[in-house]
């Protein structure tokens, strides 16, 4: 047994995926607070992601310019407004916050 899991066993977790427009994220405390028009959510980690699929679904701003306004300067961005990640990883300058694709 390792951490209560038998060899060959599986560890399963659940994740809530927000499919709403995020208006604001409070990175000043952990867990993080995520705000949409309809609710506030508490999260231990965040993956900021947009993709070609999002472009096909007609999410505004996806695929041609960064959609990082809701980050409100709380994550490090490059001169074009895209989220900066540590070389070779998806880790941003905030522990527990990751960025993938064209964000």
In the prediction, which pLDDT does 5 show? Answer: 62
**What band does 93 get if pLDDT is binned at 50, 70 and 90?**
very high
Return the higher-pLDDT residue of 14 and 95. Answer: 95
* pLDDT (average), residues 17-42: 86
pLDDT in tens, 67-84: 777 776 788 988 888 888
CATH of region 22-101, choose from 3.30.70.260, 3.40.50.300, 3.30.390.50, 3.50.50.60:
3.50.50.60
DSSP string, 43-65: ES-EEEEE-HHHHHTT-TTTTTS
Stated pTM of the model = 0.58
| pLDDT computed for residue 40 by the predictor | 92
User: What average pLDDT is seen over the chain?
Assistant: 76
Beta strands per DSSP E along 5-96: 22-26, 32-36, 40-43, 46-50
- Would you say residue 55 has pLDDT above 50? no
């Amino acid at each position: 047994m390792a951490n209560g899991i038998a060899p060959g066993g599986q560890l399963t977790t659940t994740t809530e995926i927000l499919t709403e427009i995020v208006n604001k994220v409070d990175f000043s405390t952990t867990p993080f607070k995520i705000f949409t028009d309809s609710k506030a959510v508490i999260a231990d980690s965040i993956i900021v992601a947009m993709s070609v699929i999002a472009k096909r679904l007609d999410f505004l701003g996806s695929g041609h310019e960064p959609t990082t306004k809701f980050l409100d300067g709380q994550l490090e961005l490059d001169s074009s407004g895209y989220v900066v990640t540590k070389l070779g990883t998806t880790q941003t300058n905030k522990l527990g916050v990751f960025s993938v694709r064209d964000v």
